[in-house]
Amino acid sequence: MIRWIRQQLGFDPPLQSPTRTIYVSNHFPQFGHFVLQKFPDNRIISSKYTVWNFVPKNLFEQFRRIANFYFLVIFLVQLMIDTPTSPFTSGLPLFFVITVTAIKQGYEDWLRHKADNEVNNTPVYVIRSGRLVQTRSQNIRVGDIVKIEKDQTFPTDLVLLSTDRADGTCYVTTASLDGETNLKTHRAVPEIAKLQTVFQLDKLRAVITCHGPEPDLYRFVGRITIKSTQGEIVRPLGAENLLLKGASLKNTSQVFGVAVYTGMDAKIALNYKSKSQKRSSVEKSMNTFLIIFLEILVIEAVISTILKYSWCHESPYNERTIQEKNSSRILTAISDFLAFMVLYNYIIPISLYVTVEMQKFLGSFFIVWDLDLYHEDSGQRAQVNTSDLNEELGQVEYVLTDKTGTLTENEMKFRECSINGLKYKYINGSLVPEGVTGELSRDAFTDEEVMFLKAISLCHTVHISDLEETHRPKLRHAVADLSKVQYYAASPDEKALVEAARRIGVAFAGSDEKNVILNTFGKTERYKLLDVLEFDADRRRMSVIVETPEGKMVMFTKGAESSIIPLARTGAIAIMNAHVDELAMKGLRTLCIACKFLSKQEYQEIEAQLLAARTSLQQREQVVAEAFNFIEKDLHLLGITGIEDKLQDKVPETIEALKLSGIKVWVLTGDKQETAISVCLSSGHFHKNMNILELTNQKSDLECAEQLRRLNIRIKQDHVVQHGLVVDGISLAHALRGHEELFMEICKDCSAVLCCRMAPLQKAKVVRLLKTLPAKPITLAIGDGANDVSMILEANIGIGIMGKEGRQAVRNSDYAIARFCFLTKLMFVHGHFYYIRISHLVQYFFYKNVCFITPQFLYQFFCKFSQQDEKECHAEKVLFPTILEYNETLYDGAYLTLYNICFTSLPILMYSLFEQDVHPRILRSKPALYKEISKNEVLSLKRFLYWTLLGFCHAFIFFFGAYLLRGGEDASMMGNAQMFGNWAFGFLVFTIMFITVTLKLGVETHYWTWINHFVMWGSIIFYFVFSLIYGAALWPFLQLQSMYAVFSHLLSSASVWLGIIVIVITCLFPDVLRKVFWRHTRPTLAQRSQFLETNAGITCMESLCCYSGGETGCSPFRRVLDQIMGRCNSLRVNSTDLSVHPREKRTLSIPHVQEGFSDNGAIVHLAEILE
């Protein structure tokens, strides 16, 4: 019962069997025993909540936050014991925060429900009771036969039964799943492919046995048992037989498939499950600061409790009631302690989390809207998958990048090759031997060269698309006009090779399940396709077995040189092995081509072995891989191809900028070592004068350890020289077994690191190794392919490149961009701004709450911790005898409630969205500015303590300034014949405090917009308007109205206004003076860079009243202050300075130039501005 309830609330998923048995068309056996398995319906549920579990689940998630849980406890304490403040003062802010968050999350979930309903109610056709009936997608059951027509989307995961083609093939695009726009071929089991009518399919009796649901889109293991009068026929089922939900049918009129995974069991639904939560360093710091403030709160409550009992024998405390005499001292002390906890609880900023969430959510739109991150050629803009890590973009210390498709274009062009030991260049569609000018004629090709070109045209997964191929029912002839042919391939390498072979003269003209047609120099040749040994990342090769028109059986194999050359026994192996290194040094991607002739007996043995492996349900992948490895041996090496993948634009400049900012760049790639080194040299990752160290080809742990020690000694001896490290995957595996510390020490001493021949999991291990260093550096992983997903998920920040290797990296990333060069804008500008903004937001929140609650603590010393003395009570009763009751707090409850919610919320939110301390152009051009804020410098404990102490200092000035204005011990006259009572004193303190903390934010603001002005001055106006209305009448819905007429009487006094102005200036002037002093004597790099801004230069006093453009309102005062401080004329570029003649040269003096800035750089920027 408990498990059922938890499942209904969404906490426990239902248990599932590791395998499932599916009866096609739900024809269950009439005789014999079988276990009927239960499967979910076809409803897609991407929502998080239901009507039943929204309230408990949402409340549970929100109260997991320490601040929310703390205020809940405080609220409950206020309900249970007699506390100085009303429960509403804690309950209303908590209710507001919880309600706003719940509404936001509920609305987002409602949108998910709406999208789910659109998908679940899509009309589909299924075969039931011998008829084709229309139903909704959500009503599809496992075992139903579903009909899909051209251009429709598959409503669930289906095993293909038949198509309108006799060979049972269909074409599918999975662009919505992985972004690949090429057409993929899927095949039906031959024995069922001939069943193309509803009547025939309804009579089908078959059972599918397959593994349970799993998220891997490219893996499906199963078998189908077909029952007929002749007996049972068993056939294997693989990924080529599975049609995925979300994919679309193309170039095929209709298909029939049986549902195997429905609803949330579908592979696309399993891939939508949330990833592990990543937390930013700012969030961790925020939790640390919250604990510190909790400690301060407890200390204040303990001090107050002790002092109360230390003064309890003084009048009027010596007279206790009977109830007090009979109560336990321990319980009374605990009650008093909790009461003080409630009184001071506002030191914890409850609205901090809501403000931070809104800042992150709204701020993420600036990344999406940034036109500098928009790629015009592809029409793609930046994408934000999570806004929780915006500020982390400004704290990156390590960038780990893929090579192919990330640093390079992933647009492959065939450039060179080696055939039988002779090198050729591909020029204008012809193969030209090295050292020969002119083109080869068709008759000049040798048998080895023709065999090499045929291998390229036969061994691939390329699909052809043209009008003739689409409409012809059977492959009886080649495509008439090859110029109309368009090739589609999952791998850009294969497409480049097949297109190059077509231009040379050996063209791939079409294929079906059993035949492949080549047009060889104008002659049509038909090859019977016997078998395909699919590519996988472990073997790093693929093979096809064909029967030539002459009746010979040949296996063509293509793959990486490391997986082909060791298996080769004949051919010019030594020469072509050297050619591999030569091509790789030119930066070309290399592939080896080989072949093997088979006898009929050998092929029969291979066929039987493959059938047994493919029908195995236990460890099928391992068994199939062993069969492939057994078959692919004793090869004849035909040749080697060299494919160029050129660098993306501005890659060298981007890598150089990252290094100048103090970020270490690592390149992790699966390519060959020589190819990777060549790309690193051309991209600027390695420099020509850099000492390249190699940790490669290590055979054992001991050998690797010895090499590591030699490298470490060499680095120590050549400490002046820059070093670059090259590591291959095998050596890395040895280095990570017991030698991690030495390996990382060497890596930290190297300026650049290249890891080649890396498997996807090895990339993730490298990222994890960096993350677990004692310094806990922030890592950023960037890649574009499915092999980069593991390191993207492992890194603190994962960035996907919208490239040509699918969208899996984009789907699993935190951010997605179209080009590698966009990284500088994303990190140097957006990362800088987000980190500065949220750091100041967090510090300011704690500062203003210290200012808010410290006067409450100081007030207790004057009422001997009973919250009010008799003189003040009597003074207030004389002034307002009809409404005053015994008060127990300095502030009125309305002000306690609205301080964080209304009065001070909008200015800091707008500041955190629009603040720009340095112009974006300068941030991009001066990478050293990024280094200045690294290692969480702005939100360090030192700066946090400064803000906290500043809050305490300001609070003392508020309180004692108002106390002196009040007249000390006696409630003096305010100059308008009114007495200065308790509520007037509290209101005065609150008014001074509110104005000061609001203007303090203005002092910290560098970039003013009309929005900042509106919310800041509007908040002050709103405060006074609210106070006037709140105290202007006796509101019937308020039981206690202590503030009646306080505002009008208090602020009608000129001395009060003068006192407010003096106290506010007293608080802010030392802070402004400190900024002036440090800016003049020890300016930071950011402050010096402000002299280069295209708008008005921001100086020490302008932050109070400067505008976003043009001359500022404080410029005259600023110039006077500059003269007093003896400052050199600061560089200012505004409308008045642009009157200089374009040809006139101006000498500009920029004080305090330091590292990261150069006079030449300044002149270049100013020249751009002045032009």
Most confident of 339-343, 388-392, 973-977: 388-392
What are the CA-CA distances from residue 198 to residues 22, 189, 201 (Å)?
19, 17, 5
DSSP H helix total and E strand total for the chain: 42, 35
Query: Confidence class of residue 1057 from pLDDT cuts 50, 70 and 90?
Result: confident
Q: How far apart are CA 403 and CA 255, in angstroms?
A: 40
Which of 136-150, 465-479, 944-958, 1046-1060 bottoms out in mean pLDDT, i.e. has the lowest? 465-479
pLDDT at 1098: 39
Query: Confidence class of residue 439 from pLDDT cuts 50, 70 and 90?
Result: low
Query: Confidence class of residue 996 from pLDDT cuts 50, 70 and 90?
Result: very high
Helix (H, G, I), strand (E, B) or coil at 159: strand
pLDDT at 1170: 28
- 901, 358 Cβ separation under 8 angstroms: no
pLDDT over 90 percentage in the chain? 14
Which pairing describes strands 779-783 and 398-401: parallel, antiparallel, or unpaired? Answer: parallel
pLDDT at 1091: 66
Model confidence pLDDT, tens digit, residues 465-497: 644 444 444 444 445 556 567 787 767 778 889
SS (H, E, C) 748-784: HHCCEEEEECCCHHHHHHHHHHHHCCCCCCCEEEEEC
Q: How far apart are CA 10 and CA 46, in angstroms?
A: 12
pLDDT at 558: 92
Is residue 588's pLDDT more than 60? yes
pLDDT over 70 percentage in the chain? 79
Is residue 32's pLDDT more than 50? yes
Is residue 2's pLDDT more than 70? no
Which of 617-626, 868-877, 1098-1107 bottoms out in mean pLDDT, i.e. has the lowest? 1098-1107
Is residue 834's pLDDT more than 50? yes
Model confidence pLDDT, tens digit, residues 214-230: 877 778 888 899 888 77
**Which member of 402, 784, 788, 917 is catalytic?**
402
- 101, 62 Cβ separation under 8 angstroms: yes
- 436, 818 Cβ separation under 8 angstroms: no
Q: How far apart are CA 9 and CA 51, in angstroms?
A: 10
The two three-digit tokens of residue 118, written as one number: 């659109």
Which of 245-259, 317-331, 1023-1037, 1100-1114 bottoms out in mean pLDDT, i.e. has the lowest? 1100-1114
pLDDT at 1097: 42
What does the mean pLDDT of the chain come to? 77
Is residue 507's pLDDT more than 80? yes
Q: How far apart are CA 536 and CA 494, in angstroms?
A: 15
- Mean pLDDT over 2-25 rounds to 64
pLDDT at 276: 56
Residue 402 among the catalytic residues: yes
Angle in degrees, CA 335, 337, 339, rounded to 5: 70
Q: pTM to 2 decimals? A: 0.70
Model confidence pLDDT, tens digit, residues 251-272: 788 999 999 999 888 887 776 5
Model confidence pLDDT, tens digit, residues 1072-1101: 888 888 877 888 787 777 766 544 443 333
Which of 373-377, 472-476, 478-482, 763-767 bottoms out in mean pLDDT, i.e. has the lowest? 472-476
Model confidence pLDDT, tens digit, residues 707-760: 888 888 888 887 667 888 899 888 888 888 878 888 888 888 888 999 988 777
pLDDT at 271: 64
pLDDT at 1042: 66
- 445, 419 Cβ separation under 8 angstroms: no
pLDDT at 1035: 63
pLDDT at 89: 67
What are the CA-CA distances from residue 317 to residues 300, 321, 323, 868 (Å)?
21, 10, 14, 12
